[in-house]
Amino acid sequence: MSGLGRRCESCGAEVIVRRRHKGKDVPCPGCGKSCEVPKNVDFLVLDAATEVDRWNLENCAGFLALSLPLCCLFPVPAGVWWWCSAAIRRAREEDRVVLPALLRLRRAAIAMLVFELAFWVLMVETRL
């Protein structure tokens, strides 16, 4: 379930705002003070953006999975990392909750990039 990420004015902790919180006060998980949620929060924009994030996630995961057995598509993990980073940045700029799977996929892309780099370095060294 997705929600909007808001910062607590007192402690700066992230407060997740869901549809059911419209027009109510939500307790901060960090300090316990109540954070007011306006009644006019636009969740339709949130839903559309979350669907775009899911689409990005599915496509990036597919590209990364294709590059694993081939090991010759070196730029693919870098592109996946860049694509995921852009989606994460957009979500944070729009005060949305970042999909945890996007964060995991970005970490996997970095790991894959390091693995493929090590693979190619070993290939070059054994040929010399």
With CA atoms as reference, report the closest residue to 104 among 76, 84, 127. Answer: 84
pLDDT by residue (tens digit) across 38-90?
A: 777 766 666 666 777 788 788 888 888 877 777 666 688 888 888 889 888 88
Please tell me the predicted confidence (pLDDT) of residue 66.
Answer: 77
Domain that holds residue 98: 42-128
Same domain membership, residue 97 and residue 60: yes
Give the residue with greater pLDDT, 47 vs 114: 114
Residues 10/28, Cβ–Cβ less than 8 Å: yes
Same domain membership, residue 86 and residue 37: no
Same domain membership, residue 119 and residue 91: yes
Residue 128's pLDDT band (cuts 50, 70, 90) = low
Residue 1's pLDDT band (cuts 50, 70, 90) = very low
User: Residues 30, 39, 47, 3: what is their CA dihedral angle, to the nearest 10 degrees?
Assistant: 10
Total domains in the chain come to: 2
Please tell me the predicted confidence (pLDDT) of residue 43.
Answer: 66
Q: Let me know the angle formed at the C-alpha of 74 by 51 and 120, rounded to the nearest 5 degrees.
A: 150
Beta strands 25-27 and 4-7 are: unpaired
Same domain membership, residue 8 and residue 64: no
Residue 13's pLDDT band (cuts 50, 70, 90) = confident
Same domain membership, residue 24 and residue 64: no
